[in-house]
Amino acid sequence: MTQIFAHRGYSAAYAENTMSAFIEAEKAGADGLELDVQVTKDGEVVVIHDEKVDRTTSGSGYVKNLTFKEIRMFNANKKGEKKELIPSLVEVLEWMQTNRLICNIELKNGIFPYEGMEEKVIQLVRKYDLSNRIIISSFNHYSIVLSYRMAPEIETAPLFNERIYMPWVYAQSIRAQGIHPKLSSITEEIIENSLKNGIAVRPYTVNKDADIVKLLKINCSALITDDPVKALKIRKQYEKRP
Ligand code: G3P
Ligand code: CA
Q: Which ligand is nearest to the CA of 111?
A: 1
138 close to ligand 1 (CB < 6 Angstrom): no
Residue 4's pLDDT is: 98
Domain ranges within the chain, ordered by starting residue: 3-38+88-240
CA of residue 36 to ligand 2 center, whole Å: 5
How does pLDDT run across 166-209, given as a tens digit for each residue? 999 999 999 999 999 999 999 999 999 999 999 999 999 999 99
Please work out whether the CB of residue 159 comes within 6 Å of at least one atom of ligand 1. Answer: yes
Predicted confidence (pLDDT) at residue 241 exceeds the cutoff of 90: no
Tell me, in angstroms, the distance from the centre of ligand 1 to residue 139's CA: 9
pLDDT digits (tens, 9 = 90+) for 107-150: 999 999 999 999 999 999 999 999 999 999 999 999 999 999 99
Are the C-beta atoms of residues 138 and 144 closer than 8 Å to each other?
yes
The pLDDT value recorded for residue 221 is 98
Euclidean distance between CA atoms 136 and 120, whole angstroms: 12
Per-residue confidence band for 242, with pLDDT thresholds at 50, 70 and 90: confident
- The alpha carbon of 48 and the centre of ligand 2 are apart by a number of angstroms equal to 9
Question: Please, which residues have CB within 8 angstroms of residue 171's CB and are 6 or more apart in sequence?
Answer: 157, 158, 177, 178, 179, 194, 199
Q: Which residues of 182-210 are buried (b: 16+ CB within 10 A; e: fewer)?
A: ebebbeeebbebbbeeebbbbbbbbbeee
**Domain 3-38+88-240, architecture per CATH:** Alpha-Beta Barrel (3.20)
